[in-house]
Amino acid sequence: MQLPEIVARYDERLRTDDYADVDASANGLQVGPEEREVEHVAFAVDAVRETALAAADTGADLLVTHHGLSWGGIERVTERQHGRIAPLIENDIALYVSHLPLDGHPALGNAAGIADLLGLDDVEGFGAVGPETVGLRGHADGIKRVDVQQFLEAELDHGGTGVRCLDFGPETIEDVAVLTGAGADFLDEAVAAGVDTFVTGEPKGKTYHEAKEAGLNVFCGTHYGTETFGVRSLMGLAEGWGLETTYLDVPTGL
């Protein structure tokens, strides 16, 4: 399949253009030629030197990631930036990135993956960023807080660091908001939405007292651990298009 066709298909499904004014990430094709044939696609959460080299080792023609290389533009390709871009150029690997479009996508996104894990229903958008949402909220059918923690511990790729639980809400969970990665700043929005539980990736220092004062359960499953779902969904699409795929798992424990 030609690279422009893959890019167009992903951009359409993810509504990439709709996030152009609200996301610092340069979503879409970040590295690559105008035309090239793609047979093998590698997928990873982060576009870093380790995943670029691993993609080269697999013989991939394209690397698809959630976190890319360009955040508001690239001024110089030196030092760390050179170390990440050089393996792509040297091995003729294109790079496609989807950040916020992949966080809150109702079917393909990171939040959708966790909502599915928890069996949430009546799911709707949560976490406003301009006119878009980057998370989801839904109803949980009376599941126990301790069961949620154990389930997330078993299912999330947290690199062995576990899932942190701030248990300031009810023991039986009814309403859950999910905003993966660095979603701690959306805690007040979760409170305003009337949920009893908030699932995110990494906390901030203020998260403890904000959750305690609000009477809210907060689960922190690490940034990486909560954001593997989206790229895996994109990998499933690529497999459906007849492409060879490889998932590159590089958990950070953070």
Which parts are annotated binding residues for a divalent metal cation? Answer: 66-67, 103, 223, 227
Residues belonging to the binding site are 66-67, 103, 223, 227
What distance in Å separates the CA atoms of residue 87 and residue 90, rounded to the nearest whole number?
5
